[in-house]
Amino acid sequence: MRKKEIISKLPYSKPFLFVDEIVQIDENGVEGKYTFDENLDFYKGHFKDNPVTPGVILIEVMAQIGLVCFGIFLLDNSFNKRTSIALTSTEIDFLKPVFPNEKVIVISEKIYFRFGKLKCKVKMMNEKEELVCMGTIAGIIVTPVLSKG
């Protein structure tokens, strides 16, 4: 499956699409990039006069690239509009802030994918190659079986 095709299958749209590019993807992991536009609404109120990207948004970026894009790739042709994706757990350590207009790189490595549950070790780096945050993210992907008849 092509990288742009994976992004087109994501169940998100702007302003909640946090994937600009998939750099690399295979059966063991994924690497992708996203740049935080300074005009995103959450910057208007998250630390007045000194906007910082909320941690929950950093987790969302990590989940969209490191779990959902990766899950779509792993499911290949069985992923469709009826497929459900849900975040089941996160454990993230935050080390550096991310500011408006910063580009981040997310690198996700598969821990396991079985019975529809995908768990990954994920890290986010900034353009200076500094570690921003890291941890584990897990989710469940359910693709309904179409009945014959």
| Residues carrying an active site annotation | 46
Question: Sign of dihedral through CA atoms 47, 130, 14, 91?
Answer: negative
Residue labelled with tokens 């992923």: 79
Cβ contacts of 61 within 8 Å, gap of 6 or more: 18, 19, 34, 104, 106, 124
Contact 65/17 with Cβ under 8 angstroms? no
AA letter at 56 = V
Residue labelled with tokens 């991310």: 98
Q: Is the peptide bond before 54 cis (omega within 30 degrees of 0)?
A: no
Contact 35/102 with Cβ under 8 angstroms? yes
- Cα 36 from Cα 101, distance rounded (Å): 5
